[in-house]
């Protein structure tokens, strides 16, 4: 049977929680044979992740596929899943996250309808929900900027607020969109989900927004990649990802749709702001100079992108100079973190 949707689940020492992720997809899809689940063991060393993945494959042959690779990091595991994907569409679910059953059923109905009608849709967008460990509150992220329940193009989108950019959690790409242009995923690097949610967008000509709360995950756990202390420690990786995004497009020359260009410029500006803020939070030797070099390289690469990123409201308030400016920037960041609960 032809597969309509392939899920890629990158796993690294994930034995303690991967079962819930896999079972949520199986149960939510009613064990459908046109769904594929690719469990990618990214060279796990501390537990029985690979053995568990292989056991799931034995129990559900034709649906679950276990794949092993030497440790390459999250992005390489995402691409290994894509390499093995047989579905028309591809969606990534991290091994400690899960999907909502009713929402998955609704998504599958829509994808199957596209196939029955012979309708090409390059990107299907859905909502995500994050549950904050500290206070147990749930945050539902939906997209008022997008037309609902209709196929649309980038020229139909509205304005996105900074707290509601498209993230990997919300994206279900047509697999050939990802394959045809490639994805520059660096090995052993966190935060590559930003590349995944940015670089393929101009290849997407038709989109569909399913207003369903599909993707679920916890936020606020110690050691999590978006935890503040962890992000400070991995500042070099944040810079690496931001550089890849910078070098992917001259946005004002390469992107035809003015609305997509505006969206991507906003997203990239946010990435530069993150680099600026976490440099101020870091006591790593040479961090300030590295930030200065990043801004200088952006200015040399594309002066218009530099001006928009550096001198817009976000760029201004995340690059205030002097000790007082630094305190103001960090204070604004912490206030935003409390309001939006993004880490």
The stretch 3-17 carries a mean pLDDT of 97
pLDDT at 331 over 90: no
Within a 10 A sphere around the Cβ of 259, how many other Cβ atoms? 17
Instruction: Give CA torsion, residues 208, 142, 158, 301, to 10 deg.
Output: -90
Given the structure tokens 């990435």, which residue do they identify? 271
What pLDDT is attached to residue 321?
82
Residue 136 has pLDDT above 90, yes or no: no
A 10 A CB-CB count for 328 gives: 14
pLDDT-wise least confident of 51-60, 93-102, 254-263, 320-329: 320-329
The region of weakest confidence among 11-20, 48-57, 316-325 is 316-325
Handedness of CA 294, 296, 302, 305 (dihedral sign): positive
Q: Is the pLDDT of residue 94 over 50?
A: yes
| Backbone torsion region of residue 84, taken as left when φ is above 0, otherwise alpha when ψ lies between -120 and 50, otherwise beta | alpha
The pLDDT value given to residue 221: 56
CA distance 23 to 195: 28
Burial code of 126-163, b = ≥16 C-beta within 10 A, e = fewer?
bbbbbebeeeeeeeebbbebbeeeebeebeebeebeee
The Cα 185–Cα 199 span in angstroms is 10
Is pLDDT at 323 greater than 70 in this prediction? yes
pLDDT winner (highest mean) among 224-228, 231-235, 323-327: 231-235
> What's the whole-number mean pLDDT along residues 265-270?
96
> Does 327 score more than 90 pLDDT?
no
Taking only the tens place, the pLDDT of each residue in 157-206 is 999 998 899 999 999 999 999 999 889 999 999 999 999 999 999 999 99
Cα(224)–Cα(217) distance, integer angstroms: 12
Average pLDDT, the chain: 93
For residue 339, pLDDT over 50 is answered with no
Q: Which of 42-51, 70-79, 277-286 has the lowest mean pLDDT?
A: 277-286
CA neighbours within 13 Å on the CB side: how many for 229? 5
Higher pLDDT, 229 or 84: 84
């Amino acid at each position: 049977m032809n597969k309509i949707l392939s899920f890629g689940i990158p796993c690294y020492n994930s034995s303690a929680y991967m079962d819930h992720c896999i079972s949520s997809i199986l149960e939510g899809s009613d064990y459908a044979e046109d769904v594929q689940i690719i469990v990618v063991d990214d060279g796990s060393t501390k537990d029985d992740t690979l053995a568990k993945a292989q056991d799931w494959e034995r129990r559900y042959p034709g649906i679950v596929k276990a794949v092993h690779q030497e440790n390459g990091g999250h992005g390489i595991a995402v691409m290994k899943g894509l390499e093995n994907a047989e579905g028309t569409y591809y969606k990534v679910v991290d091994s400690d996250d899960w999907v909502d059953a009713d929402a998955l059923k609704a998504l599958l109905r829509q994808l199957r309808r596209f196939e029955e009608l012979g309708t090409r849709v390059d990107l299907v967008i859905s909502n995500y929900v994050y549950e904050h460990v500290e206070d147990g509150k749930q945050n539902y992220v939906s997209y008022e900027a997008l037309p609902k329940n209709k196929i649309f193009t980038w020229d139909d989108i509205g304005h996105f607020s900074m707290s509601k950019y498209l993230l990997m959690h919300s994206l279900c790409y047509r697999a050939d969109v990802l394959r045809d242009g490639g994805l520059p995923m660096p090995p052993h690097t966190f935060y590559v989900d930003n590349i995944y949610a940015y670089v393929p967008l101009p290849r997407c000509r038709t989109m569909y927004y399913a207003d369903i709360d599909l993707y679920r995950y916890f936020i606020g756990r110690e050691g999590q990649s978006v935890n503040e202390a962890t992000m400070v420690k991995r500042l070099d990786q944040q810079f690496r990802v931001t550089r890849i995004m910078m070098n992917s497009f001259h946005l004002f020359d390469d992107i035809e749709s003015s609305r997509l260009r505006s969206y991507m410029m906003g997203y990239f500006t946010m990435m530069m702001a993150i680099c600026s803020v976490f440099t101020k939070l870091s006591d790593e030797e040479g961090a300030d100079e590295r930030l200065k070099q990043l801004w200088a390289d952006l200015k040399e690469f594309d002066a218009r992108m530099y001006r928009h990123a550096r001198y817009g409201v976000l760029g201004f308030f995340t690059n205030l100079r002097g000790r007082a400016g630094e305190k103001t920037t960090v204070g604004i960041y912490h206030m935003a973190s409390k309001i939006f609960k993004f880490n």
